Amino acid sequence: MDYSFLAEAQNIDNDTLASLMDDYGNDVWNYVYFLTRNMEQADDLSQEVFVRAYTGIANYRGDCSIKTWLLTITRNTTFTYRKSRFFRSSLWGETLSLDSESPSPGLRQMMPQKSASHPSAEVEVIRKARMHEIWNIVLALPEKFREILLLHVRYELTTVEIADMLGISQGTVKSRLSRAKNKVRKQWEEMIE
């Protein structure tokens, strides 16, 4: 759906909100889960993100994609929550598993490729295990690298969008992205040797 009309909107109807939630709900939930590593918090904060989008649609100017705008709200909402006393006093150290339907473009070279025909169960298990191992490597990175890699690889945001979202320069985004990819590649190579 084309959401360009939202740049002029002062409010949003329920059908448009439902469409936004259908189109971007998984992205928002996965990003919150990535930041908090807690399924319940991801559920709650994802709902909060869409409430904020619903009430704050007049603040959307259209100078970025609706996806980038929602992910910015997601990040800000999550960081505000993380600063709260409730979050700091809770336990949230679950193991993160970011299984996705389609492998992330930047990590495809490290994963076994699917054949044109249906893969055997063994090949599929190996592919999923490798994907899980790669995401574990990504999750072990320092947050500044981990977040940029996720935004670029998983959500396919451009360098400009990431820079605007995080409030840093494009050069910093490119540098961190390159360093993050190199760290993941190096750790992956060490792991498979």
Give 77-130 pLDDT, tens digit per residue: 998 887 764 444 443 333 333 333 333 444 444 444 444 456 677 777 777 777
114 and 187, same domain (yes or no) = yes
Q: What is the pLDDT of residue 170?
A: 95
Task: Say which CATH number the domain at 159 has.
Answer: 1.10.10.10
Q: Give yes or no: residues 10 and 81 share one domain.
A: yes
Q: In the predicted model, what is the mean pLDDT of residues 169-174?
A: 95
**Residue 88 · residue 45 · CB < 8 Å:** no
Considering the domain architecture, whether residues 113 and 76 belong to the same structural domain is answered as: no
**Does residue 174 register a pLDDT over 90?**
yes
- Express each pLDDT in 128-139 by its tens digit: 777 778 878 888
133: Cβ–Cβ under 8 A, 6 or more apart, which residues? 188, 191
Across the range 162-191, mean pLDDT stands at 90
Cα 80 to chain centroid distance, Å, stands at 17
User: Per residue in 42-66, is it b (16+ CB within 10 Å) or e — as a string?
Assistant: beebbebbbebbbeebeebeeebeb
Structural domain boundaries enclosing 68: 4-89
* Claim to verify: residue 85 and residue 116 sit in the same structural domain: no
CB of 119 closer than 8 Å to CB of 127:
yes
Identify the residue with better confidence: 108 or 183: 183
- 95 domain-assigned: no
Mean pLDDT rounded to a whole number for the chain? 79
Weakest mean pLDDT among 6-10, 14-18, 42-46: 6-10
Instruction: Specify if 97 maps to a domain.
Output: no
**84 touches 92 (CB < 8 A):** no
Is residue 36 within 8 Å of residue 42, measured between CB atoms? yes
Give the pLDDT of residue 132: 74
Domain count, the chain: 2
- The pLDDT of 173-182, averaged and rounded, is 92
| pLDDT at site 160 | 92
On whether both 37 and 116 belong to a single domain, the answer is no
Instruction: Say yes or no: 14 and 85 in one domain.
Output: yes
pLDDT given at position 97: 35
181 shares its domain with 156: yes
Whether residue 65 lies inside any domain: the answer is: yes
